[in-house]
Chains A and B, each alone.
Chain A
């Protein structure tokens, strides 16, 4: 079965092509093809997983050769799949959560005339993500990487009749291109240094490479990861990506797309092993982004944008863990999996709320929805408890481990990284509780035409399944370090290090901060009345509401100078290069004009010319003595 893992990619891809090419006659039932394709991929993955679990841990890495792809002189690259515990984890997450989101979308997109196209794109998204995680070389990974970028562009701009949504899709695409350049540069460096692009050769060659080479590759890969995973400074696309239909947000934030950056870092572990500086940069970016995202999340009134900021922050945790090296890799992926469940659950919950509230996204117009939407309230609540890191829910097992790991080290680093992770946990508790209380508790602040109602079963069942995962998956995978042991063949065995603070102290500090965050949010947004219009606020709040002015910064730092640079270049081109060519051509044209005058049609003047010419020739001949 492990040899048949190519089906994982082929089935959703074929379904996507079928739905796109099939035309309108597929409209009544085409979406079920999409669901079935995703479900089939999940079943294939499940069988492969069971088979893999039956193998010894050191036999679990399985290479599937597909075909000879680029038989070049210096570069011989075969297309192949690498099925190992890491890629298998992603396969299960992507197909399982993806299938639930497909199912949910059947109901969510029921009244959309382009539902068939939507499912084709969802399938494409899943296929591209599976190719990304299953590829056995950086180049094949890049194909999936670009496929994910394309699918996200198509889905974020799915309602592209609204210009601002189309702009959001463009923004996501353009920002991602910056990251893609990082990956292309990294591949170029690998080819220059090692002459290969497949994981096996690159990782084997990484042992003998210099620190400078590995640092360069590591930093280029980090740029790529930042673009895809919306980490600082390439985070600006994530908030606007909420323009897409809500299931797309769930898919982007939980299963596909933003997790790709973390995957890339963890997969490139052998490269980072030899580049401590690059690794520390990864951790620093993760720590910074987790605080940045949390601060933005605290001020957002749009429920989807608040969740998006939360994703940015949670991916920051994963990057932080991935930047800690072997002690963090397993926790990064662990948190990625649990986050996949609770974030998908909460996005679907947000979609359910919007579904019941006429597509309202302003949390200031929600309130008291717990009575109207009980299932949504309960499932969202479980996701909320999970992201808070309340024991025994999923987030506790993964996030707490990351915070502990962040405190491991020497010098100032553990205090900075650990402190950021710890404060981030408190901030997370505040903004997620704020979101939860504003939406489901307090007084109803609905507009007149809103009659909230529970969503149909097709939407609530996926939410319930994801909520169960949010509640118990972490405990299940954490028991006996099951998940870390499972990933050990890939991430390497991590020596146990003691954090600079005792573990119980860290855990208690985390829980106290979380409790404080919840309490503060309850006082302000649960017990007290929430104004229906955002009140005037401090400068810090305004900055957070505006995504820390990320767009203004981008405009000021990149766009303006870029525009001026291109204008200058265009001017220089016109004034210097073009002008030089034009002037030269003009000079010859004027010369031609004057010479033209001699061609006057007068036979006798021609005769004179000939005579004069003849005389000159004779004089030259005679005088020259020829």
Chain B
């Protein structure tokens, strides 16, 4: 199968993730959108690695996985902290920091 299809799939997944982040108020869903975008990027990296026949993209994908794991820990912790303080995880609720 032509590896360019994986790149197209990655683009679709990225778009879905971005839409989830932009459109959903629920922090958990938005967070899942972020994860989807990260993994779309991973898929794109791996696909490019295959296309060019080099291993750099796959190595980069591993780095992204590690960073994403750390990001999940921090992100979920923030969401829990916000929930404890406000009894809500709506993204529109904490809007005090405005100009």
Contact = CB atoms under 8 A, between A and B. Distances in A.
Most buried by B among A603, A607, A611: A603
Contact of A602 (B18, B21, B30, B95): B95
B98 to A, nearest CB: 3
A594 to B, nearest CB: 11
Given A607-B21, A608-B22, A600 B99 contact: yes
B96 interface: yes
A89 to B, nearest CB: 82
A601 interface: yes
A424 B25 CA distance: 106
Given A607-B22, A611-B18, A611-B22, A600 B95 contact: yes
A601 B96 contact: yes
Interface string B24-51: 0100001000000000000000000000
B16 to A, nearest CB: 13
Interface in A579-604: 596-604
B99 A599 contact: yes
Interface in B50-99: 91-92, 94-99
Given A604-B22, A611-B22, A599 B98 contact: yes
B91 A603 contact: yes
A238 to B, nearest CB: 69
A596 B97 CA distance: 12
A600 B96 CA distance: 8
Interface residues of A, number: 12
Contact of A604 (B91, B97, B99): B91
A600 B21 contact: no
Contacts of B22: 604, 607-608, 611
A602 B25 CA distance: 11
Interface string B1-29: 00000000000000000100110010000
Nearest to A603: B91
Contacts of B25: 604
A590 to B, nearest CB: 14
Contacts of A598: 99
A152 B96 CA distance: 70
Nearest to A615: B18
A596 B91 contact: no
A597 B21 CA distance: 22
Contacts of A607: 21-22
B72 to A, nearest CB: 18
Contacts of B30: 604
A398 B25 CA distance: 110
B92 A604 contact: yes
Contacts of B99: 596-600
B95 A604 contact: no
A608 B95 CA distance: 15
Contacts of A608: 22
A599 B95 CA distance: 10
B81 to A, nearest CB: 15
A600 B97 CA distance: 7
A611 B20 CA distance: 13
Contacts of B18: 611
Nearest to B19: A611
A594 B21 CA distance: 26
A600 B99 CA distance: 6
A600 B98 contact: yes
Contacts of B92: 602-604
Contacts of A604: 21-22, 25, 30, 91-92
A601 B21 contact: no
B91 A601 contact: no
A172 B18 CA distance: 85
B66 to A, nearest CB: 23
Nearest to B34: A607
Interface in A153-188: none
Nearest to B99: A599
A599 B94 CA distance: 13
A621 B22 CA distance: 24
A611 B95 CA distance: 20
B19 to A, nearest CB: 10
B95 to A, nearest CB: 3
B89 to A, nearest CB: 12
Nearest to B93: A603
A602 B30 CA distance: 14
Nearest to A596: B99
Nearest to A614: B18
Nearest to B33: A607
Given A601-B95, A602-B98, A603-B94, 8 more contacts: A596-B99, A598-B99, A601-B96, A601-B98, A602-B95, A604-B22, A604-B25, A604-B30
24 contacts: A596-B99, A597-B99, A598-B99, A599-B98, A599-B99, A600-B95, A600-B98, A600-B99, A601-B95, A601-B96, A601-B97, A602-B92, A602-B95, A602-B98, A603-B92, A603-B94, A604-B22, A604-B25, A604-B30, A604-B91, A604-B92, A607-B22, A611-B18, A611-B22
